[in-house]
Amino acid sequence: MHLNIPALLVCSVVSLALGFVWFSILFGKRYGCEADSEARKPTAEEKKARAGMMGRAFSIYIAGSVVTAWAYAVCLNLWRLAAPGHAPDDLGAAAAFSLLLWAGFFAPFAVGKVIWMGKSWAVAAIEASYEFVRIGLMLLILWYWR
């Protein structure tokens, strides 16, 4: 099974860029208000410590995104091999498969955050929709860059 390493790296960088746009530009105000109302306010020292850890945080996020892209690429390749009733080059069927993965893995985690962590439905919806778009972008990158 061939995995395209540059495509996986691009997926992780695109995930980071999408996260910036999603959580700061598109939904930043709503997400910030909802998330801030659920958490205690950090002290000045905590804010300063967090600012010093941004490089490390980005590195960890990119590494996690590479793992997510790798796992998704493996699932997509396995789906191509098994593609029941579909040609393995059917992008529409691959998109339906991706929707199934999102509905089975990402959406339940968002609901779990509401139920078990007390997050608001707005926060869960913003985070779940980010993952939906992220998986869609990964699909396009991995599909066309073989």
Residue 81: pLDDT over 70:
yes
Label residue 92 by pLDDT band (50, 70, 90): confident
pLDDT of residue 1: 61
Residue 74: pLDDT over 60:
yes
The answer to whether the CB of 69 falls within 8 A of the CB of 8 is yes
Residue 50 domain boundaries? 5-144
The pLDDT mean for the chain works out to 86
Percentage of the chain exceeding pLDDT 90: 50
Dist CA 87 CA 118 (whole Å): 43
Interval 133-140 mean pLDDT: 94
Percentage of the chain exceeding pLDDT 70: 86
Interval 99-119 mean pLDDT: 91
pLDDT of residue 84: 64
Question: What's the CA angle centered on 105, arms 73 and 94, to 5 degrees?
Answer: 40
Residue 108: pLDDT over 90:
yes
Q: Please tell me the pTM assigned to this model.
A: 0.82
41: left (phi over 0), alpha (psi -120 to 50) or beta: beta
What type of residue sits at position 9?
Answer: L
Q: What are the distances in angstroms from CA 133 to CA 72, 95, 102, 116?
A: 14, 11, 10, 24
Dist CA 72 CA 79 (whole Å): 10
The answer to whether the CB of 64 falls within 8 A of the CB of 2 is no
What type of residue sits at position 126?
Answer: I
The number of distinct structural domains making up the chain is 1
Find all residues with CB under 8 Å of 118, minimum gap 6, and list them. Answer: 38
